[in-house]
Amino acid sequence: MKEPIDVAVLGATGTVGQKFVRLLEGHPMFRLSELVASERSAGRVYADVVAWKQETSLPAEAAGVVVQPLHAELSSSILFSGLDSSVAGEAEQRYADLGHTVISNASNHRMGDQVPLVIPEINPDHFDLVHHQPSPGAIITNSNCSSMFLAMALAPIHRTFGVEKVQVTTMQAISGAGYPGVASLDILGNVIPFIRNEEEKLEEEVAKILGTLSGDRVFPASFAVSAQCNRVPVYDGHTETVSVELTRNAALEEVREALSGFRGLPQERGLPSAPTAPLILVDEPDRPQPARDVWRSNGMATLIGRLRPCPVLDYKMVILGHNTVRGAAGAAILNAEAFVSLGYLPRQ
Amino acid sequence: MKEPIDVAVLGATGTVGQKFVRLLEGHPMFRLSELVASERSAGRVYADVVAWKQETSLPAEAAGVVVQPLHAELSSSILFSGLDSSVAGEAEQRYADLGHTVISNASNHRMGDQVPLVIPEINPDHFDLVHHQPSPGAIITNSNCSSMFLAMALAPIHRTFGVEKVQVTTMQAISGAGYPGVASLDILGNVIPFIRNEEEKLEEEVAKILGTLSGDRVFPASFAVSAQCNRVPVYDGHTETVSVELTRNAALEEVREALSGFRGLPQERGLPSAPTAPLILVDEPDRPQPARDVWRSNGMATLIGRLRPCPVLDYKMVILGHNTVRGAAGAAILNAEAFVSLGYLPRQ
Amino acid sequence: MKEPIDVAVLGATGTVGQKFVRLLEGHPMFRLSELVASERSAGRVYADVVAWKQETSLPAEAAGVVVQPLHAELSSSILFSGLDSSVAGEAEQRYADLGHTVISNASNHRMGDQVPLVIPEINPDHFDLVHHQPSPGAIITNSNCSSMFLAMALAPIHRTFGVEKVQVTTMQAISGAGYPGVASLDILGNVIPFIRNEEEKLEEEVAKILGTLSGDRVFPASFAVSAQCNRVPVYDGHTETVSVELTRNAALEEVREALSGFRGLPQERGLPSAPTAPLILVDEPDRPQPARDVWRSNGMATLIGRLRPCPVLDYKMVILGHNTVRGAAGAAILNAEAFVSLGYLPRQ
Amino acid sequence: MKEPIDVAVLGATGTVGQKFVRLLEGHPMFRLSELVASERSAGRVYADVVAWKQETSLPAEAAGVVVQPLHAELSSSILFSGLDSSVAGEAEQRYADLGHTVISNASNHRMGDQVPLVIPEINPDHFDLVHHQPSPGAIITNSNCSSMFLAMALAPIHRTFGVEKVQVTTMQAISGAGYPGVASLDILGNVIPFIRNEEEKLEEEVAKILGTLSGDRVFPASFAVSAQCNRVPVYDGHTETVSVELTRNAALEEVREALSGFRGLPQERGLPSAPTAPLILVDEPDRPQPARDVWRSNGMATLIGRLRPCPVLDYKMVILGHNTVRGAAGAAILNAEAFVSLGYLPRQ
């Protein structure tokens, strides 16, 4: 067994940062050794500065770590970034310039020409973009939470039949907005039919993930995506209704098989955070449901239900995923596992 | 001022029945004179048998009415039916055969060839179908709640530009399922991506409402509708995301004007339950919201927000309406007002 | 009819401030003429700076008012203060020193020796304290929301039988915490068994309200109150379970009569915001409930249910009131009405 | 290692029955071998008749079991009863008469003179009552869910200092009402200040559990309990505010120590379902909270927070427990483990 790689978490006290800390507990490839947060928290031990909001206890290995400020010099080779987008852009670049591999959940660099936006089941070849980054280190990104589940459901369909058009309506959990995030006065017994920038992210990120790498850039997939995003009073789990038009005709059963048979690099290599199957088809007519199904495969699978013909496009379905696990921190960790497994990590 | 018309409520103790009783309080055209419920409640005064769930007090004029059983002989000329679909089909037909005008919110007869499925702002001419009904009385229906708001938003678009395709995802309130309806264990902090028969109703009812009357039948509008229906933890108010493809090109501003300028018979005649405008366009980017906007125009308007281009079809928007007012009891009462106003009611 | 008195609202964009604006719309005694908010909002019209969160539309008379900063010179004789306690203390005092009558909902001055803490049904005589205030103007306060309903329920019992001990557990609505207030991640499907300083306020304010005025101070009532305060996922309406020990024996029926027969100055004088009866006894075994009963008497009544013997103290009951109406802005407005009606307002 | 004991679950498709099935999966002492449900489900395999509502998957060992009707002859020596109280009384007695040991969560027999009402940490000696039962088998009961947590918190206090008076207000989760249980229209954004028979159960069960066994009966503890029970929109976890008057003076620190040091038979013997400590004291000022803390110690611990002096009685605190685990099925299973461990089970 290899020696674990030292990793740091940037933005360690935030919602995504906490999820990183939780998911890295006992990780077989990574050893959590540094925690970075705002100036206000720096110099104190993590247990004293974090307002821990996870369902599990604060990991002992993190509790006593002295938090460092955002500009601190770090020794970890991999930095997981749960930084807020207000500071992530500059900070992540700076750490990459210093030679670190930054695995980021922030949106700032996702659409950068030489920045891989990767879901390891779909486009691990895009990691190659790091060779074109000017830094000695690298910046790797995962997608926005709602893009993740849509890209995952579309990938085997696009690969097998081609995708022409996609309509998606999301019903997103409050945990996606961080903490304090959505005010209870705004969401209790309510639906908010708007999430800033979310529809734009969905429409452009999915096309990049399903796009084609050629030299130093990615040509986005050419299908059109139309997104309508809503916040609903659900704790964890984004539900999405999806309709898709295919390039070539396919029977319902063929589509089912493409979805249920989908596997990728994480499954082939048995990466530690990989779900057994990236897509789980559920047969009950009223599932998947966030409150009941979101933790399937430790929150790392995307669930698909109600696959059926669409009178307007070709097929429609309901998809569900855990927005703060597979849709955020878990996605970044799986990216890191894949990146390391493929031998990209610069030896130091 | 005309003498008010005596009316009865069938299924008076149920959720829709209670809403009828509430909305008929002090109505200028109708006088609530009879209440019909199950055998179990018959013979006792309404106040003693109803589990009143409305936000307003039980109207005094209803409290003391002795409830009659479903097969009772009634003297009212108009019967508002909030009967459950398990009994509505046969009972409504029987009362129509006895000469009553049954204004029904039940789904049983909606798609009947000679049964008007009417939204008075859209297709009051369909009332003419009653002349082809074999009964001495008549059966008039209003649409399903989620169909109501979609038909209302599509009507001026279809009339002005033509509609080719419609995609709709609904987020429906728990009050739409009646009482006891949805178990709290199923919906608290959850989304249920399925409502039995709801998608089918949406897809076929809208086409009939926007269809063309010719002689003794209605030719449905020929556009395709694809619906995905969800239950969300909201008390009152169905929110729907809608994308629509037009027959002829139209600028965004033209579509706005078609929607905001929409008026119909209820507005022209100033019917008692008519909203000032059937459609209200809201400009805030994060509205309409059920918890905040559902009672606009006494729950009789349909709200439209976020009208914008759709990358897949032509335009998309968010619509909202009060499912148990404009989407149920209020719709039936407005139907009755229109029906009477147009002189259809047989003199007795 | 008298000329209406010009009034201002301090903290006009906040939750309580908005409720003041809403409740003052069309008020027969007061004319809303000035609005004061933070420096950031000053100089712009109210409609442009307020994030209006009320169920009713923004009143036209307020929409166009140009907002003034907190240190502005005001011409209104009565200032309703919905200021946050972080600034209320100093600002209210300064306006009183300038001759204004400040009717405050903030907690800062409530326990001040010469500051009346008044519920007009209970202790309007305490207004006399203003004669001992050093300012040319005056500061009048109403109680904390949960204190309001408890004091109201105890007042007739204390007056008739004497109160020795009180146990109260509150289940408080999220609107009581203002906006953004409680994070949805903290309260969705949860109970928070702690509200900072709330138990202390309940324990001391009730004693002052039910205390005895003697010269320039109030001797608090001597009974002991023990409070346990909780936040629950309810929008509006604080529910409280109360147990009380009496000084002298009383039959259940006597206690009922004392409660249901309770009337005070607002009822005797027919003040505009007065509920017909300050206390409403409900007989259904499972009421009062916040979602169903909070708007009884326009949110100005306190509801009492489940009055029954207590095996530990003497009687127990459930009480409910609207925390942002009778428990905040409505209480202040009724205080102003009573104050004016009693002739206290300095002629200017 | 001993051979596991065959057990059956009565009422296996209900909420409590499902929890039994879930908690018995892989149990070291018990082997789930029979499932009993209503006539309607009998003859079909469990997976086909159960509407599984648990967060974990249906255990494979239960899925294929053919369900038997309520009057079936059973071979298991221990029967766990999750039967509804409408049928539990007679059915449990009949099975006891046939020689089975019935470990029941139903309320029917709890207050029976010769029926042990046991919490193994508190009164395992009460099991001796089975020797006085006329049946060849036995009926053992656990308490109502809200009684469980109150009895657990009071036990070490009563043992060490004596308890004189108890005031308790509960805020109970919807899962306590079974399925479909509480209608969402009744509880979304609401509090229902009434749960039928719940206050009576709390007041009498706690006294029996903390009572003294003498020969063939239990003399209940003599302190007075006053309960006020509420339903709140929480999924799992009953929160209770408690005030207690002691027989002899005790410093706060003494009470803390009595609570935190509390251990009983399940801890001493290391029973499989025993929490490490029956009571967990939490120090954060705003905890315990049901949504965050209910699964501590696998849902088998009772959490205590905010211990502090009470101005009316002596001390007050907030307690929390998992109502369907420690408060129902888990309590019954721990009872069975203790009963077997103490050698009570008749050899067959």
**Does residue C131 have an active-site annotation?**
no
Domain B145-322 superfamily per CATH = Dihydrodipicolinate Reductase; domain 2 (3.30.360.10)
Which residues of chain C make contact with D313, given a CB cutoff of 8 A? Answer: 167, 226
Region A230-250 average pLDDT: 98
Query: A51's torsion region: left (phi>0), alpha (psi -120 to 50) or beta?
Result: beta
Question: Count of CB contacts below 8 A, B vs D?
Answer: 56
- Best of D55, D56, D57, D191 to disrupt the A interface (most A CBs within 10 Å) is D55
Which residues of chain A make contact with C188, given a CB cutoff of 8 A? Answer: 174, 184, 187-188, 233, 235
Q: Is it the case that residue D294 has pLDDT exceeding 60?
A: yes
- Summarised one tens digit per residue, pLDDT across range C63-113 is 999 999 998 999 999 999 999 999 999 999 999 999 999 999 999 999 999
Q: How confident is the model at residue B346 (pLDDT cuts 50, 70, 90)?
A: low
* Minimum CA–CA partner of D284 in chain A: A51
Which pLDDT does position D139 carry in this prediction?
Answer: 98
Q: Is A284 part of the contact surface with chain D (CB cutoff 8 Å)?
A: no
Cα Rg, chain B, nearest whole Å: 19
Handedness of CA C246, C248, C251, C254 (dihedral sign): negative
* Minimum CA–CA partner of C184 in chain A: A184
- Best of A187, A235, A281, A289 to disrupt the B interface (most B CBs within 10 Å) is A289
Q: Is D312 part of the contact surface with chain B (CB cutoff 8 Å)?
A: no
- Summarised one tens digit per residue, pLDDT across range B124-175 is 999 999 999 999 999 999 999 999 999 999 999 999 999 999 999 999 999 9
Q: How confident is the model at residue A56 (pLDDT cuts 50, 70, 90)?
A: confident
Q: Is it the case that residue A1 has pLDDT exceeding 70?
A: no
Which pLDDT does position B258 carry in this prediction?
Answer: 98
Catalytic residue among C145, C158, C229, C322: C145
Rounded to the nearest 5 degrees, what angle is found at the Cα of A80, between the Cα atoms of A75 and A84?
A: 120
Q: Is it the case that residue C318 has pLDDT exceeding 50?
A: yes
Q: Is B39 part of the contact surface with chain C (CB cutoff 8 Å)?
A: no
* Minimum CA–CA partner of D195 in chain C: C286
Same fold, D5-143+329-341 and D145-322: no
* Minimum CA–CA partner of D57 in chain A: A296
Hey, where are the domains in chain C?
A: 5-144+329-341, 145-322
Which of D165, D233, D239 is opposite residue C312, by nearest beta carbon?
D165
Q: How confident is the model at residue A348 (pLDDT cuts 50, 70, 90)?
A: very low
How far, in Å, CA of D203 to CA of C316, rounded?
A: 14
Mean pLDDT of chain D: 96
CATH topology of domain A145-323: Dihydrodipicolinate Reductase; domain 2 (3.30.360)
Q: Is it the case that residue B286 has pLDDT exceeding 50?
A: yes
Q: Is it the case that residue B278 has pLDDT exceeding 60?
A: yes
CA distance D190 to chain B (A): 11
DSSP, residue by residue, A235-285: SS-EEEEEEEEESS---HHHHHHHHHT---HHHHTT-TT--SSSEEE--ST
B319: which residues sit within 8 A by CB, 6+ positions away? Answer: B149, B150, B152, B153, B239, B240, B242, B288, B302, B303, B304, B305
- Summarised one tens digit per residue, pLDDT across range D230-258 is 999 999 999 999 999 999 999 999 999 99
CB A316 to CB B228 under 8 A?
yes
CB C184 to CB A182 under 8 A?
yes
Which pLDDT does position D275 carry in this prediction?
Answer: 98
Q: Is the bond leading into A120 cis (omega within 30 degrees of zero)? A: no
Residues 116-155 of D with CB under 8 A from A: none
- Summarised one tens digit per residue, pLDDT across range B207-248 is 999 999 999 999 999 999 999 999 999 999 999 999 999 999
| Residue range A5-143+329-341, CATH number | 3.40.50.720
- Summarised one tens digit per residue, pLDDT across range D145-202 is 999 999 999 999 999 999 999 999 999 999 999 999 999 999 999 999 999 999 999 9
DSSP state of A3: P
Starting at the edge strand found earlier in the chain, the sheet holding B224-231 runs B224-231, B163-172, B238-246, B315-321, B302-309, B279-282
Q: Is it the case that residue B119 has pLDDT exceeding 90?
A: yes
Which residues of chain B make contact with C291, given a CB cutoff of 8 A? Answer: 235
Region A247-261 average pLDDT: 98
Mean pLDDT of chain B: 96
Q: Is C38 part of the contact surface with chain D (CB cutoff 8 Å)?
A: no
- Summarised one tens digit per residue, pLDDT across range A109-164 is 999 999 999 999 999 999 999 999 999 999 999 999 999 999 999 999 999 999 99
Which pLDDT does position C345 carry in this prediction?
Answer: 85
How far, in Å, CA of C341 to CA of C1, rounded?
A: 13
CB B55 to CB C292 under 8 A?
yes
Which residues of chain A make contact with B226, given a CB cutoff of 8 A? Answer: 243, 310-313, 316
How far, in Å, CA of C341 to CA of C270, rounded?
A: 10
Q: Give percent of chain A with pLDDT exceeding 70.
A: 99
Region D280-302 average pLDDT: 95
What is chain A's length?
A: 348
Pick from A93-102, D56-65, D130-139: least confident:
D56-65
Which residues of chain C make contact with D288, given a CB cutoff of 8 A? Answer: 193
Whether C164 and C248 have beta carbons less than 8 Å apart is answered as no
Helix axes D252-260, D145-161, angle to 10 degrees: 120
- Summarised one tens digit per residue, pLDDT across range A161-219 is 999 999 999 999 999 999 999 999 999 999 999 999 999 999 999 999 999 999 999 99
**Does residue C145 have an active-site annotation?**
yes
Q: Is it the case that residue C54 has pLDDT exceeding 90?
A: no
Q: Is it the case that residue C59 has pLDDT exceeding 60?
A: yes
Q: Is it the case that residue B1 has pLDDT exceeding 70?
A: no
Region C281-310 average pLDDT: 96
Which of A181, A183, A233 is opposite residue C179, by nearest beta carbon?
A183
CB B192 to CB A224 under 8 A?
no
Beta strands in chain A (DSSP E): 5-10, 30-37, 68-69, 78-81, 101-104, 138-141, 163-172, 212-214, 217-219, 224-231, 238-246, 279-281, 302-309, 315-321
Q: Is D52 part of the contact surface with chain A (CB cutoff 8 Å)?
A: no
How far, in Å, CA of A242 to CA of A259, rounded?
A: 14
Q: Give percent of chain C with pLDDT exceeding 90.
A: 96
Mean pLDDT of chain C: 96
Q: Give percent of chain A with pLDDT exceeding 90.
A: 96
Q: Is it the case that residue C348 has pLDDT exceeding 60?
A: no
Q: How confident is the model at residue C1 (pLDDT cuts 50, 70, 90)?
A: low
Which of A190, A226, A285 is opposite residue B194, by nearest beta carbon?
A285
- pTM greater than 0.90: yes
Which of C185, C187, C233 is opposite residue A179, by nearest beta carbon?
C185
CB B232 to CB A232 under 8 A?
yes
Which of D225, D228, D234 is opposite residue C191, by nearest beta carbon?
D234
Rounded to the nearest 5 degrees, what angle is found at the Cα of C309, between the Cα atoms of C307 and C311?
A: 140
- Best of A184, A186, A234 to disrupt the C interface (most C CBs within 10 Å) is A184
Three-state DSSP class for D127? helix
Q: Which CATH class is domain B5-144+329-341?
A: alpha beta
How far, in Å, CA of B38 to CA of B88, rounded?
A: 12
CA distance D265 to chain A (A): 27
Q: Is it the case that residue C334 has pLDDT exceeding 80?
A: yes
Region D57-73 average pLDDT: 94
Q: Is it the case that residue D348 has pLDDT exceeding 50?
A: no
